[in-house]
Structure 1
Amino acid sequence: MAVTPCETDGRRESREEHGERIVREFTRQAAAFADPRLNSAFTAQLGRLVRFMEPELDTEDVVLEVAAGTALVSRAVAGRVRHVTALDLTPAMLAEGKRAADASGVTNMTFTKGDATALPYLDRSFTLVVTRFSLHQVDDPDAVVREMVRVARPGAAIVVADLVRPEGLAGDPDLVERRRDPSHGTLRTEAEITAMLAAAGAEVRRTDRFDVVRPLDPWLAFTGTPDETAAVIRKELEDELAGGAPTGMRPVRVDGALHFTHSHAFLQAIAG
């Protein structure tokens, strides 16, 4: 499957450059991810994901969360399994996650700095592998999925939870997403993620799809989007509501405030 690269000043970024960009952006955002007053958009659907994972959770599970960030998923399931490893490329995100785990008394977790496209584990090491909000961020999502399946034991569950691009969507939401967060990669469709998993040797068995309408201003504030960039994004969404070109962000007004729409998909697959 072809990967759409990110571009900077019209130049294609290398995988290494994009990885460095991710580390820079998420180092800057790490404190916001750890602040419950600011990260509600990331915790709001966490319970739904844990319920989706429920059939796969077992007290003997050895779990890996790939591109874990502050390990929200890992911390949410740690009490239900034998051990969880949270791997991420950004040390500052892992540090925030470990601080929270230590504060809550979680002792069966390991935090590891590592590249999701080249996992530092032997084949067939884990009984459950999960990633959340990562495939749209990385330069090579196919490699991430291949690695997730490689380190999963045969019959183990693979869970992917991500923002997705609805089929037939008008406009290009990635343009808006990259203005707001320069480390954003490319939104994939649910069918594309399913195909990635199949190519890696895993079969999708269950899915959960839903839309979330979000207020624009807190979304822009979370990443510290510069005022001039935020103004451009706001104008594009307002123009679309007035009949202008579609942005792919599906803007609406809720109680007079400008909102936009994200599509989510949870996919559960079984490793071959």
Structure 2
Amino acid sequence: MTVTHDDKVVREFSRQAAGFADPRLNVAFTRDLDRLTRFMEPELDTEDVVLEVAAGTALVSRAIARRVRHVTALDLTPAMLAEGKRAADRDGVTNVTFARGDATALPYLDRSFTLVVTRFSLHQAADPEAVVREMARVSRPGAALIIADLVRPEGIEGDPDRIERLRDPSHGTALTAARIAGITAAAGAEVKRTEEFEFTRPLGPWLELARTPADVAAGIRKELEGELAGGPATGMRPSEVDGELHFTHTYLFQHAVAR
């Protein structure tokens, strides 16, 4: 039986779903959520009908729900949606609909939404171009398209995608900011503004969230420690902070407008 990339995504994120509710493990998603909400703020309107693509546990949907008319949170992994639905019910968020679906073939008519957002999805997708095309297709003219993702800095040494895939086999390819802008333009949307920043995070919780097998996690740690000692570049930009091994990710926020 052939295992597809989507199968890997569902398998890995079913394993990780419970960890997304733990801020100690899910530090990247929770730490910059307010920053993303502020980035989106000029585009939010109480009449907006929003779609979050590859929503996971719908952190973004839940964060903006009370500021818009309605949000649909779509994801491929039922366990992630179930985790998000429990959180929404607990917090009394009633205007978010949870839907299972494929980001590369959205089950919606053209021009259905006034704002479309995706976070940390393009680097997981087997076909990121299709994801952005679909986002643009279901957006009304003038709608905001928000992409927030892990990106590969220009000129970085080493192969961070190899380490990322060791940690989580469903990882695809981290694109550059320029590549994401190009994909967005090709999909028929105009990039209006971007924000790019770095986040140095502890290695241990990152590995724990993905439930990386102990032997694989030990190998990743060994490679990062080796780079710090003068060995080959991994692309993960390791450092030691307060005696704990860390690495650095670069994140992009991009706002585009559908035509």
CA distance in 2, matches of 1:257, 1:99: 34
Task: Give 1:134's match in structure 2, choosing from 108, 111, 121.
Answer: 121
C-alpha contact 2:57 2:83 (8 A) present in aligned 1: yes
1:222 paired residue number: 209
Across the aligned residues of Structure 1 and Structure 2, the Cα RMSD in angstroms comes to: 1.0
C-alpha contact 2:15 2:211 (8 A) present in aligned 1: no
CA distance in 1, matches of 2:89, 2:218: 40
Aligned to 1:263, the other structure's residue is in SS state strand
1:74 paired residue number: 61
Q: Does 1:172 align with 2:159?
A: yes
CA distance in 2, matches of 1:89, 1:218: 24
Task: Give 2:94's match in structure 1, choosing from 101, 107, 116.
Answer: 107
CA distance in 2, matches of 1:142, 1:37: 32
Q: Which runs of 5+ in 2 are unaligned?
A: none
CA distance in 1, matches of 2:221, 2:46: 47
Matched to 1:229, the amino acid is: V
CA distance in 2, matches of 1:100, 1:217: 25
Matched to 2:7, the amino acid is: E
Matched to 2:18, the amino acid is: A
1:233 paired residue number: 220
**Offset, 1:39:** 2.0
User: In the TM superposition, what are the counterparts of 1:29-44 in structure 2 within 5 Å?
Assistant: 29-44=16-31
C-alpha contact 2:24 2:205 (8 A) present in aligned 1: no
CA distance in 2, matches of 1:198, 1:38: 35
Task: Give 1:62's match in structure 2, choosing from 27, 45, 49.
Answer: 49
Deviations 1:129-155 (A, max 9, x none): 000000000100000000000000001
1:8 paired residue number: none
Give the count of matched residue pairs: 258
Q: Does 1:125 align with 2:112?
A: yes
CA distance in 2, matches of 1:109, 1:197: 26
Which runs of at least 4 in structure 1 moved beyond 4 Å after TM superposition? Answer: none
**CA 253–36 in structure 1, closer or farther in 2 if over 3 Å, else same:** closer
Deviations 1:156-175 (A, max 9, x none): 00000000000011111000
CA distance in 1, matches of 2:84, 2:77: 11
CA distance in 2, matches of 1:161, 1:37: 21
| More off after superposition, 116-125 vs 102-111 | 102-111
C-alpha contact 2:192 2:255 (8 A) present in aligned 1: yes
C-alpha contact 2:161 2:174 (8 A) present in aligned 1: yes
CA distance in 2, matches of 1:108, 1:227: 41
**Offset, 1:38:** 2.8
Deviations 1:105-148 (A, max 9, x none): 11111100000000000000000000000000010000000000
**Offset, 1:46:** 0.2
Matched to 2:43, the amino acid is: E
Identity %: 73
2:232 paired residue number: 245
User: In the TM superposition, what are the counterparts of 1:193-272 in structure 2 within 5 Å?
Assistant: 193-272=180-259
| More off after superposition, 38-47 vs 100-109 | 38-47
Matched to 1:50, the amino acid is: T
CA distance in 1, matches of 2:34, 2:247: 22
Aligned to 1:248, the other structure's residue is in SS state coil
CA distance in 2, matches of 1:109, 1:256: 42
Matched to 2:29, the amino acid is: F
